[in-house]
Chain A
């Protein structure tokens, strides 16, 4: 029997400050004695979560596993290395379509998801009419799979088909992919599939993709982390506001686009297209998030969220310590502002893989960097600060590169810990666009949404089953 090391962290020899959680009476007794105190606003977690919480909190691997997982996430330095067609880079075969969110079948797919799949069928010339496309999709002749299963993320419906071009983002040997952003208005990702939509997609495959490929190859790897860090200081949060990042990307690539060796009119079209689309960088921010989050996967005992994604029907999360298993629950309708006369009744439930931004410390988590975004929910600037600050309660780290000037350059809250979500009941704040519920309508608004609380409780249960008992 050896005696433990004395010391107790200076408890007996240094000035005492006490953190208090629980009955206010005991905190008051300390206040009476003028003992310095940091009170915790403790509230009971959702009923029924105590046992799983205790099991996971008691896993001796957890603290180190979380430090390892979030450390990998933070260490990622995503770079844009190439632009290539999905068929080539993902080995996507004709008749296979990737989609946003956890896996879904046609019969459960929402309006915008169906619309985007119909559009992709038309683009790939697997059907001549929307009716024919719908019939074939409904008959189960096509293969649907989650983007996340192929190291890919897609905004809104997130449908990827072989002829679409993809950003290839690298972190060391790791790769992640995202399609090219189509712009606003009637676009495939919101479920629109009219002739203009298909025409634009063809142009993106024939001109935009090849020009960007040439430009990126000429330029060499583009440091996305640097652009993102700058963009946060210029008012972006990289989910609903990508104006600064898009501008910075344009500046970075303009000369190489000019020298891409394409007809001048095409180059002008490309620059006009990127310059006219405030969200062009979003897809790069997403791929950067994906390659970072994937670095944190599969650390046994870790309670870190490595994916949050929605398919328009379900909201799903994946957790580092539970492998590729999805935990899903019905997606909520975002709370936000609507275009024109659209209202909540016109809105589809939450959709898209763009929550990879919140998963990796941007988007809603960086809202304090982009105060303009908070007005989407009728809030004001202090609400933006409060939202980001609230996220520190449920995250494991502060991002060393992505900083928020107004919070004295504090790093963005990064790495959602499901134990903290369940303990506090604080749900991740997500900035999002709102798709119309009817296929083909497109975007009807933008706002904020929360994941369903049950997915975190379900993931916690699964993690509890895998706990290593001390």
Chain B
């Protein structure tokens, strides 16, 4: 404190460090009013910098910087307009007498001389600052909705035609509807979408000449691009309409093995042929494939449709000039061209096309597998592959327990377990992505003296785990007397490489089949009656 209390120091010229063109004063701020307000004596500094201009926002930022400085009680940097000089007065500063709107005024009140000094240094550095050369960064953040993304890409060289929705089920409807309103077809990979939402989406799609694939659609191939879980198959004349993802994969892979390619595989979702959904997407898909010049034959892969829906499909099929083969699992009784199992359906397709049915690839176990007494345990990642094996096993062995819909679950005897069941995937990824649960069960079964044969599926392709044999083979190698049979769904061009996977599994001791039906029959044959 250099000035005695009670005495106001008038305006003084400050010379030296700041140059003679600047007028400044230090005030010992002593009026009773301010003392009462501030509670203590303080050091005040008011300075005019004639002709110095900074925009009001810069000045507000500088004021804030000063106010936040340690020991500073009040600070104002502003152009000396009437308004700002009034504000200066309100803050308890004495306005300099001859400052005008083109002059910059600075006022600081600090707790002591030292704080005032450092605040003045800060002021100088803040006033000297020029804006950082941030430049114009033109990176646009990714779109936050499908509608926004579609709108952005709409004018571009490759306008989107399809949205792939895999958000959690309760949120899928909004994104899918947004996609349809943006003129996009939709594949809904998500499950847990209520059936009334599915119907609303499919009606909205039909009204726009679009298709909704799904919900719970795991597989599609459009113009050679695999969506979701899809195998790398050759292009060709067969169009597939699939209410079943792994069913479609099995058909595609067997066709590929026979040298026949696929034009498109359009998934429709597991409920599409139910009485409620009434084949809405199947009809869209049939019409589209029927009109597609690249498609010479259509395969419909599904569980048995509801009877009324079977009629609709039959009616639609009659109107198409493209021949249709139905690959329907189980007893449908009503659909034309019923093929029994998927491998048989593929054979029917081949004969329609005049292509000979090959011997389906298989990699026999290195040591002969012999029948023995005990239970068959099927551990599946693919629901349709599980269902197909179950039908074959139940036909041969009688009672088989399963968690598949319509079957009785159990823990003893012959079992067929679908690890893709929603109840087993809650809080974890699908077993084609995360195999841990199924591998744990495999180890348990191989240690179970009651278990004679384990039947596994291994589904390859885009989206599936990169090397499924790597973790499975060591368990199989330690299997002891229990026979292991693998249904391997894949093609040589899949990222995992079908033959490399088959050889690794075979070398570990398993019998490996490209046909799921053949694998199931072999497994059944290893159970001694």
A interface with B by C-beta (< 8 Å): 1, 3-23, 25-27, 29-30, 32-33, 35-36, 38-45, 50, 53-54, 57-58, 60, 63, 184-185, 337-341, 343, 372, 375-376, 378, 380-382, 385-386, 389-390, 392-393, 406, 419-420, 423-424, 426, 445, 470
Q: Is B226 an interface residue (CB 8 A)?
A: yes
Given A44-B171, A58-B177: A382 and B223 interface contact (C-beta under 8 Å): no
Establish whether residues B292 and A13, one from each chain, have CB atoms under 8 Å apart when the complex forms. Answer: yes
Count chain A CB atoms within 10 A of each CB in B75, B174, B228, B463 and give the residue with the most.
B174
Residue of A nearest to B280 (CB): A4
- A393 contacts across to B, CB distance below 8 A: 143-145, 148
Establish whether residues B197 and A389, one from each chain, have CB atoms under 8 Å apart when the complex forms. Answer: no
Given A1-B316, A38-B149, A42-B175: A470 and B200 interface contact (C-beta under 8 Å): yes
Count chain B CB atoms within 10 A of each CB in A50, A341, A382 and give the residue with the most.
A341
B1 → chain A closest CB, angstroms: 22
Within 8 A of A (CB), among B150-185: 150, 152-153, 158-168, 170-171, 173-175, 177-179, 181, 183-185
Establish whether residues A9 and B209, one from each chain, have CB atoms under 8 Å apart when the complex forms. Answer: yes
* B270-294 interface code vs A (CB 8 A; 1 in, 0 out): 0000000000000110111111111
Establish whether residues A6 and B141, one from each chain, have CB atoms under 8 Å apart when the complex forms. Answer: no
Quick one: which of A16, A29, A50, A390 contacts B222, CB cutoff 8 A? A16
- B315 contacts across to A, CB distance below 8 A: 1
* CA of A372 to CA of B59, assembled, Å: 13
Given A38-B152, A50-B171: A16 and B162 interface contact (C-beta under 8 Å): yes
Given A9-B184, A12-B223: A340 and B63 interface contact (C-beta under 8 Å): yes
- Interchain Cβ contacts under 8 Å between A and B, 14 examples: A3-B283, A8-B284, A13-B223, A13-B292, A17-B161, A21-B146, A29-B230, A33-B225, A39-B149, A50-B171, A337-B57, A340-B76, A340-B91, A372-B57
Establish whether residues A375 and B58, one from each chain, have CB atoms under 8 Å apart when the complex forms. Answer: yes
* B71-96 interface code vs A (CB 8 A; 1 in, 0 out): 00111101000010011101100000
- The tally of CB-CB contacts under 8 A between chains A and B is 252
* B436-452 interface code vs A (CB 8 A; 1 in, 0 out): 00000000000000000
- B32 contacts across to A, CB distance below 8 A: none
* CA of A470 to CA of B144, assembled, Å: 27
- B136 contacts across to A, CB distance below 8 A: 381-382, 385, 406
- A17 contacts across to B, CB distance below 8 A: 153, 158-162
- A380 contacts across to B, CB distance below 8 A: 131-132, 134
Contacts A3-B283, A19-B149, A44-B167 known; list 10 others, CB within 8 Å: A6-B292, A19-B179, A21-B163, A22-B167, A23-B189, A33-B226, A339-B63, A341-B73, A372-B55, A393-B143
Residue of A nearest to B291 (CB): A6
Quick one: which of B148, B153, B288 contacts A11, CB cutoff 8 A? B288
Count chain A CB atoms within 10 A of each CB in B200, B230, B294 and give the residue with the most.
B200
Establish whether residues B171 and A339, one from each chain, have CB atoms under 8 Å apart when the complex forms. Answer: no
Establish whether residues B148 and A54, one from each chain, have CB atoms under 8 Å apart when the complex forms. Answer: no
- B349 contacts across to A, CB distance below 8 A: none
Given A341-B67, A424-B145: A22 and B287 interface contact (C-beta under 8 Å): no
- A12 contacts across to B, CB distance below 8 A: 222-223, 263-264, 288-289, 292, 294
- B185 contacts across to A, CB distance below 8 A: 8-9, 11
Residue of B nearest to A371 (CB): B136
B46 → chain A closest CB, angstroms: 13
* CA of A382 to CA of B140, assembled, Å: 10
